[in-house]
Amino acid sequence: MPDASLFQPYALGPLTLANRVVMAPLTRSRAAAGDVPQALNATYYAQRATAGLIISEATQISQQGKGYAFTPGIYTPQQVAGWRLVTDAVHAAHGRIFAQLWHVGRISHPDLQPEGGLPVAPSAIQPEGQAFTEAGFKPFVTPRALAEAEIPGIIADYRHAAACALQAGFDGVEIHAANGYLLDQFLRDKTNQRTDSYGGSLENRTRFLLEVTEAVTAVWGDNRVGLRISPTSPANDIADSNPQRLFGHVVKALDRFGLAYLHVVEGATGGPREAVPGFDWLALRRGFRGAYMANNGYDLALAQAALKEGRADLIAFGRPFIANPDLVQRLRHGSPLAKLDQATLYGGDAHGYTDYPPMVQAAAAQ
């Protein structure tokens, strides 16, 4: 039998998690019209409620924050009502769920923006790659650099979305500062070439993130807020000339908030863990007094080793949760994991979403 520590309860701020297995945020692009979560989404999350904690798919804080077709929002009354279906279903199944708050910045397309406008970013630098729109993939465009006077409005959008998440019955929120989206774009020198008080020095590049964190924690209290970073990930054409120094500074600056957890994508998101050889993850952990949630390429053995060696407090699993709604049970028994179907990851209906069977059922069907 595997070592039990992954399956022991964990005190996360005021919450007691049933175990240390976290469901990582996973965009599945299955919201209804108006970017409203629906009963199908509630079924999907409830199926996975044996995770100690679920982090919702990224959910945009405003229409400007949207970058992919069919992703849910968290800023209208209809969206709040849709998310209420999800949180009620998860709670009825004795689970816990945080909402991941998202602004994509330049990783968008005019098709997805208010009045077909340009996506916004710290600087007008076009990303490599393509946007997923309702009409298929379209090349990214050169975004519009935000005026300094627009930044308080985006912080207000975060505050509003955080309040909507509270109203929708979530247990907390996660600020998405990873994977090359708006907050990450401000942090890194490849995407932030501003010369005002939001660019240049580490202090300046970190300012926006800290202001957002201040606004969100004012709504929720510090210990119901987590924050996700991906220091060495090149996701969405992002990079920094010195990620160790940058994220050392970021984590130290965040530590004053007493956040519930720091969620760290270790390596290239969904790719090699050694994206920047020699990056010192333990230095981040040591600089932060809240829980350290590790993610990226974890399996049972890696997860148990990280907990045992004190390198993490919680382990987030992403892809394994897609095809294994009962992942916790499978890990606990050392059972084989089902493989996900790439073709049904983004968009569509129940197929490849809520029809992955749990283990007992899967065994009976053979």
Ligand X SMILES: Cc1cc2nc3c(=O)[nH]c(=O)nc-3n(C[C@H](O)[C@H](O)[C@H](O)COP(=O)(O)O)c2cc1C
The DSSP symbol for 134 reads T
Q: Is 65 in the site for ligand X (CB under 6 A)?
A: no
> Do 341 and 348 meet the contact criterion of CB atoms below 8 Å apart?
no
The region of 103-111, 157-165, 199-207, 313-321 touching ligand X under the rule CB under 6 A is 313-321
- The half-sphere exposure of 359 on its side-chain side, counting CA atoms within 13 A, is 14
Q: Smallest distance, Å, CB 104 to ligand X?
A: 10
Residue 65, both tokens: 């924050």
Provide the token pair at 258.
């007493």
**Phi, then psi, of 198 in degrees rounded to 5:** -110, 10
Query: Which of the residues 288 through 307 are near ligand X (CB under 6 A)?
Result: 295-298
Under DSSP, is residue 68 helix (H, G, I), strand (E, B) or coil? strand
Q: Does residue 9 contact residue 25 with C-beta atoms inside 8 Å? A: no
By the 8 A CB rule, do 309 and 323 touch?
A: no
Residues 6+ apart with CB under 8 A from 102: 58, 59, 60, 61, 65, 176, 181
Sole binder of ligand X in the list 270, 347, 348, 358 (CB under 6 A) = 270
Smaller CB distance to ligand X: residue 26 or 74?
A: 26
Contact 291, 262 (CB under 8 A): yes
What's the CA angle centered on 254, arms 241 and 176, to 5 degrees? 75
Residue 202 or 238 with smaller CB distance to ligand X: 238
Residue 58 is a binding residue for ligand X (CB under 6 A)? yes
Find the catalytic residue in 181, 292, 298, 356: 181
Supply the minimum distance, in Å, between the C-beta of residue 66 and ligand X.
12
The H or E element that residue 29 is part of is: none
Among 345, 347, 358, 362, binds ligand X (CB under 6 A): 345
The stretch near ligand X (CB under 6 A) out of 2-10, 18-26, 253-261, 278-286 is: 18-26
- Residue 198 annotated in active site: no
Q: Does position 113 bind ligand X by CB under 6 A?
A: no
By CB under 6 A, what part of segment 206-245 binds ligand X? Answer: 228
Task: Give the residue with the Cβ less far from ligand X, 57 or 171.
Answer: 57
Q: How many CB atoms within 10 Å of residue 300? A: 20
Binding characters for ligand X, 142-171, by CB under 6 A (x = yes): ------------------------------
User: By CB under 6 A, is residue 84 in contact with ligand X?
Assistant: no
Is 176 near ligand X (CB under 6 A)? yes
* Three-state secondary structure call for residue 43: helix
Is 24 a binder of ligand X (CB under 6 A)? yes
Tell me the closest approach of the beta carbon of residue 57 to ligand X, in angstroms. Answer: 5
CA–CA distance from 75 to each of 97, 161, 333 (Å)?
A: 18, 5, 41
Binding of residue 265 to ligand X (CB under 6 A) = yes
State the catalytic residues. 181
Residues that bind ligand X (CB under 6 A): 24-27, 57-58, 100, 176, 178-179, 228, 265, 269-270, 295-298, 317-320, 345
